[in-house]
Structures are given as C-alpha cells and as structure tokens.
C-alpha cells in the first residue's frame, strides 16, 4: 500500500500554493509535514485526501490513479486542529457515525467502536456526550472516529495545537503507538520541530509551498540539504553568519577571524554562510578551540531550567538557549562561544556544503 504524488501542484487565482511535488508514502509509515503557518501543509493534505484537485500532476493509491476520485470513495480519514464531534450524540455514536453511513453491520460496528475506544482510553466514557468530556478526551473521540473507519490513509492536521501542554505531551506519546497498531499511512502536520522529533518516522519540511527535503526524521534534522530546511527544522530558528575563508583563517566580516581548524581547514577559499542551532551557543563553559563572538544582549527569556538569550551580532539577530537561570543585563556586551563541531557550512546559494561534525557522528 502506498500513496504517490507525481508532479502534483496547486495554483489558486494565479498564485502557487503547492509547487510541483514528487512524494511517496509507504504503508505503515508515520510521515510528518513540518513547516511554519502558510507553508502549504494543509493544502498538501487536502490534495492527498481528495478534497482538492491538483492543478497539475497525478495522485496514485496503490498504483491506481485516484486524482479525480471523490474523497468519499477513498479510504481516507482526516482530523483537524479544530476537532469536531456531534454534541447531541454519545461518544459511542460519534465514533460509530462513519460506519453507520457506510451501512456496516451492527455487530461489526460494535466491535470496531469498542476496539477504537479501548485504544484511545475512552471505554468508560462511551455513554457520555462530548461536552461532558475534557478537551483531551474530545480530541481522542475525534481521533477514534477517524481510526474506526479502518482507513488506509489517516491525515492529522495539527490535531494537538488547541490542547494544553499536559494533554499535548500525553497524546504525542500515544499517537505513535496508535499508528503502530493501525498499520495505516499516517500524515501529521505540525509547526513544531520538537513534535516532529518526538513522532519520529519520516519528515517532509515545507517552505512557501515547496517540499525542501523528505526522509527519516533524524536524518533531515541532522543533515538538512540547505539553509531553508535547517531554518524550518530548528526552534528557535537556526542562527546564521556570513563568513569567508582565506588560507588557514576564517573571516567573519566584522574584523574578527579565527583559525580554520578541524573540518573547516579543508574548505576551499571562498564565501560561505555558517549556521548553528541556538542550543550550541555557550556563555560559560566552552570547548578549548571554540570560536568566540561578542554580541549585544537584547532580550532574555527564562523557561525555568533554561534561558533564551536574544543577541545582536553586528546587525544579525541570534538566539542562544543556555542551561540554567542567568542574571544578565540588557544592552551589555556578552561573550558567546561556539564549538566548530556544531557549525554547518552552506554555500552562497544556500546549499549544504558541510554538515556539522556532531551530526555525522550521531
């Protein structure tokens, strides 16, 4: 079982919503669509589901062209960010509703409903109405209704975005287990890199309607093909710095330079963009050969066990995520340190030239 998108694009009123896309999703896989708001995640899901028809290209399900097939005739289930339940029905009847429409036998409906309810931990609530449930339980009900259809393709469009932190964390752990039990192709849209890493499977990064990379989630995270993918798969976004290399020196364009040691020594002379994630900036301990920068502190944010430091480095905005709570003065000059092993090197066109050494060793 597989879903294939071949040259699929979507143009609305002359604007490209989805650039020509080739994508193959295999049976029994969890596939995450990761990108900021308006990057094309929902548009791509609607094309997969059959809710929209592509402007160009074909959609194949198990090798069969289903491009023009109605969504009702496909084995598809979809759960939205704004979960929907029928308030006048019990949880049991909500879950059973798609099976009743398909005129499935009563005994089979009962079996599937109770199986889905058990999977979603809703068995004690089957006779309640949705408004008697917590927000997390209501979302579980919507998920159970999607799963009970035995759909080969389950699309989840930011299904946890409106839940509180505790419920999100709980369901993030449960969804991969549900996926494993169902055996369907799951597609999960999110704006959060952390959520993609927690869910695992494969990740497609999206930017302005274009899939920039698709592959196993850890690989896409550690070895982004370009600066755009690296920016998408980092929260806060990856920091960037224009550099040049001449001989055995790296020049940072602000009168600063450092020896080109380790992997950086092998770079040909020329201009590059260095990228590094916020958690790799240090303000206290640092590696012996760490690169040193002086930046102006503009904002601090305390998260309890960590501190976000927002920096201005000669006009470039950086963010560092450092361990512990630090009493720092806004506007002060702050020395920050960066281990060269954590630096990605991108070409002038944004293409990845050299991944960080830690990413290759992971």
pLDDT in tens, 203-218: 999 999 999 999 999 9
Mean pLDDT of the chain: 89
pLDDT at 134: 85
Which CATH superfamily is 2-231 part of?
P-loop containing nucleotide triphosphate hydrolases (3.40.50.300)
C-alpha torsion sign, points 147, 148, 150, 151: negative
Edge-first strand listing for the sheet containing 249-251: 257-259, 249-251, 239-246, 270-276, 344-346, 352-354
Q: Which among 38, 42, 44 has a CA at the least distance from the CA of 208?
A: 38
Residue 187's pLDDT band, with cuts at 50, 70 and 90, is very high
Q: Which among 4, 157, 1 has a CA at the least distance from the CA of 77?
A: 157
Residue 361's pLDDT band, with cuts at 50, 70 and 90, is low
pLDDT in tens, 318-348: 999 988 888 888 999 999 999 888 999 999 8
| Residues of each domain in the chain carrying CATH 2.40.50.140 | 236-361
Tell me, letter by letter, the H, E, C secondary structure of the chain: CEEEEEEEEEEECCEEEEEEEEEEEECCCEEEEECCCCCCHHHHHHHHHCCCCCCEEEEEECCEECCCCCHHHCCEEEECCCCCCCCCCCHHHHHHHHHHHCCCCHHHHHHHHHHHHHHCCCHHHCCCCHHHCCHHHHHHHHHHHHHCCCCCEEEEECCCCCCCHHHHHHHHHHHHHHHHHHCCEEEEEECCHHHHHHHCCEEEEEECCEEEEEEEHHHHHHCCCEHHHHHHCCCCCCEEEEEEEECCEEECCCCCEEECCHHHHHCCCEEEEEEECHHHEECCCCCCCCEEEEEEEEEEEECCCEEEEEEEECCEEEEEEEECCCCCCCCCEEEEEECHHHCEEECCCCEEEECCHHHHHC
pTM of the complete model: 0.88
C-alpha torsion sign, points 236, 340, 347, 226: negative
Which whole number is the average pLDDT over 228-249? 92
pLDDT at 362: 57
Residue 193 has pLDDT above 60, yes or no: yes
Distance of CA 312 to the CA centre of its chain: 27
pLDDT in tens, 20-34: 999 999 988 999 999
Residue 98 has pLDDT above 70, yes or no: yes
Residue 225 has pLDDT above 90, yes or no: yes
pLDDT at 360: 66
pLDDT at 82: 72
Residue 254's pLDDT band, with cuts at 50, 70 and 90, is low
Residue 257's pLDDT band, with cuts at 50, 70 and 90, is confident
pLDDT at 45: 96
Measuring CA to CA, how many Å separate 298 from each of 111, 291, 293? Answer: 59, 21, 15
Which of 2.40.50.140, 3.20.20.70, 2.60.120.200, 2.40.170.20 would CATH assign to domain 236-361?
Answer: 2.40.50.140
Residue 285 has pLDDT above 90, yes or no: no
Residue 40 has pLDDT above 90, yes or no: yes
The Cα–Cα gap between 202 and 220 comes to 8
Query: What phi, psi does 204 have (nearest 5°)?
Result: -110, 120
| Residues of each domain in the chain carrying CATH 3.40.50.300 | 2-231
Helices 106-119 and 135-147, axial angle in degrees (round to 10): 130
| Residue 138 structure tokens | 């209501």
Edge-first strand listing for the sheet containing 56-61: 15-26, 2-12, 56-61, 64-65
Share of the chain above pLDDT 90, in %: 55
pLDDT in tens, 294-314: 899 999 998 878 899 999 998
Top-confidence range, 68-72, 193-197, 301-305: 193-197
pLDDT in tens, 107-142: 999 999 998 898 788 999 999 999 999 887 888 898
Residue 144's pLDDT band, with cuts at 50, 70 and 90, is confident
């Amino acid at each position: 079982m597989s879903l294939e998108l071949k040259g699929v694009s979507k143009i609305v009123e002359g604007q490209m919503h989805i650039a020509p896309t080739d994508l193959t999703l295999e049976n029994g896989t969890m596939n995450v669509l990761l990108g900021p708001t308006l990057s094309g995640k929902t548009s791509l899901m609607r094309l997969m589901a059959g809710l929209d028809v592509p402007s160009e290209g074909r959609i194949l399900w198990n090798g069969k062209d289903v491009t023009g097939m109605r969504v009702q005739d496909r084995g598809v289930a979809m759960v939205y960010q704004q979960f929907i339940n029928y308030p006048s029905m019990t949880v049991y009847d909500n879950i059973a509703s798609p099976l009743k429409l398909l005129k499935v036998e009563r005994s089979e409906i009962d079996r599937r409903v109770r199986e889905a309810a058990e999977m979603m931990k809703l068995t004690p609530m089957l006779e309640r109405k949705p408004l008697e449930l917590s927000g997390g339980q209501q979302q579980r009900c919507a998920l159970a209704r999607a799963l009970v259809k035995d759909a080969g393709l389950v699309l989840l469009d930011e299904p946890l975005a409106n839940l509180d932190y505790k419920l999100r964390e709980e369901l993030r752990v449960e969804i991969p287990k549900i996926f494993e039990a169902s055996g369907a192709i799951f597609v999960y849209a999110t704006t959060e890199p952390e959520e993609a890493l927690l869910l695992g499977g494969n990740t497609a990064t999206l930017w302005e309607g274009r899939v920039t990379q698709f592959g196993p989630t850890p690989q896409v995270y550690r070895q982004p093909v370009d600066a755009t993918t690296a920016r998408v798969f980092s929260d806060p976004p990856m920091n960037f710095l224009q550099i040049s290399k001449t001989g055995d020196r790296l020049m940072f364009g602000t009168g600063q330079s450092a020896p080109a040691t380790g992997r950086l020594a092998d770079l040909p002379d020329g201009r590059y963009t260095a990228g590094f994630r916020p958690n790799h900036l240090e303000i206290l301990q640092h590696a012996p050969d760490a690169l040193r920068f002086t930046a102006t502190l503009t904002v601090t944010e305390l998260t309890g066990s960590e501190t976000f430091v927002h920096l201005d480095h000669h006009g470039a905005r950086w963010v560092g995520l450092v361990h512990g709570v630090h009493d720092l003065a806004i506007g002060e000059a702050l020395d920050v340190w960066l281990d060269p092993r954590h630096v990605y090197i991108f070409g002038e066109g944004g293409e990845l030239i050299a991944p960080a050494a830690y990413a290759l060793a992971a």
